[in-house]
């Protein structure tokens, strides 16, 4: 069996799969959570594309993942501030790195 080798010509690669992700760790203690409490937000996407479009597709996937994660973080902070308001505590500002980030 070891001497059986199947030979075939290599086909040039014309399509590639691109995968991108984005993650964010939020320190919940500054938003009313317990000390050392954190929340992790993560998004991962992949797409198949022509090799010449890989850089553009990669950038688009990264932008999509980043926008999804930061929208979730803003939503979580708004929920935490709502809980603070119900307890009669002042709201905490959204971190500058995610304010209005898209």
Buried b (16+ CB within 10 A) or exposed e, 58-78: bebbbeebbeebbebbbebbe
Domain ranges of the chain: 15-84
Q: What is the pLDDT at residue 5?
A: 66
Q: What is the pLDDT at residue 58?
A: 97
19-29 pLDDT, tens digit each: 999 999 998 88
29-52 pLDDT, tens digit each: 887 778 888 999 999 999 999 999
Q: What is the pLDDT at residue 94?
A: 73
Mean pLDDT to the nearest integer, 79-91:
82
- Strand boundaries in the chain, DSSP class E: 15-27, 38-50
Statement: residue 59 has pLDDT above 70? yes
């Amino acid at each position: 069996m070891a001497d059986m080798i199947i030979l075939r010509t290599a086909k040039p690669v014309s399509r590639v799969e691109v995968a991108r992700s984005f993650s964010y760790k939020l320190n919940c203690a500054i938003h009313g959570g317990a000390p050392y409490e954190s929340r992790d937000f993560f998004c991962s996407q992949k797409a198949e594309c022509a090799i010449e479009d890989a850089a553009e597709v990669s950038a688009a996937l990264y932008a999509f993942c980043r926008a999804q994660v930061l929208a979730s973080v803003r939503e979580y902070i708004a929920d935490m501030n709502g809980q603070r308001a119900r307890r009669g505590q002042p709201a905490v500002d959204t971190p500058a790195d995610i304010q209005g980030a898209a």
